[in-house]
């Protein structure tokens, strides 16, 4: 019984050619799969996550995202809201 050897340098020219082409195709497919997986993984880590895509539509989160963060601290007291029964105390009024 003949034993099948998987060697790239033995056998007929057709067998060697088929093995070389097959090894090249499998190697290329493995490389492309690994490269695309790494690229997608790195880009997902670098790009900001979109919470609306996950299905969590919470209006409280939307207002927190649009609120200004940082910037200069103002010395003016906060504006009074319309319809507010009591004035909003400022930090200087609390200390007195």
The more confidently predicted of residues 82 and 52 is 82
Q: CA 22, 27, 28, 33 torsion: positive or negative?
A: positive
Ramachandran angles phi, psi of 7, nearest 5°: -125, 140
Q: CA 76 to CA 94: how far, in whole Å?
A: 15
Burial 5-15 (b: 16+ CB within 10 A, else e): eeeeeeeeeee
Per-chain mean pLDDT for the chain = 77
Domain boundaries, the chain: 7-46
Tell me: the pLDDT tens digits for 62-83?
555 555 556 677 788 878 778 7
pLDDT at 55 over 80: no
pLDDT at 58 over 80: no
The more confidently predicted of residues 75 and 5 is 75
10 — pLDDT class (breaks 50, 70, 90):
confident
Report the SS3 class of residue 68.
coil
């Amino acid at each position: 019984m003949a034993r099948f050897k998987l060697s790239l340098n033995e056998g007929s020219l057709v067998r060697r050619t088929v093995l070389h082409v097959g090894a090249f195709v499998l190697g290329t497919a493995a490389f492309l799969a690994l490269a695309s997986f790494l690229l997608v993984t790195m880009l997902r880590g670098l790009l900001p996550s979109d919470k609306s895509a996950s299905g969590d539509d919470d209006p409280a989160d939307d207002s927190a995202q649009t609120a200004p963060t940082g910037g200069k601290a103002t010395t003016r007291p906060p504006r009074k809201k319309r319809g507010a029964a009591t004035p909003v105390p400022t930090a200087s009024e609390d200390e007195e």
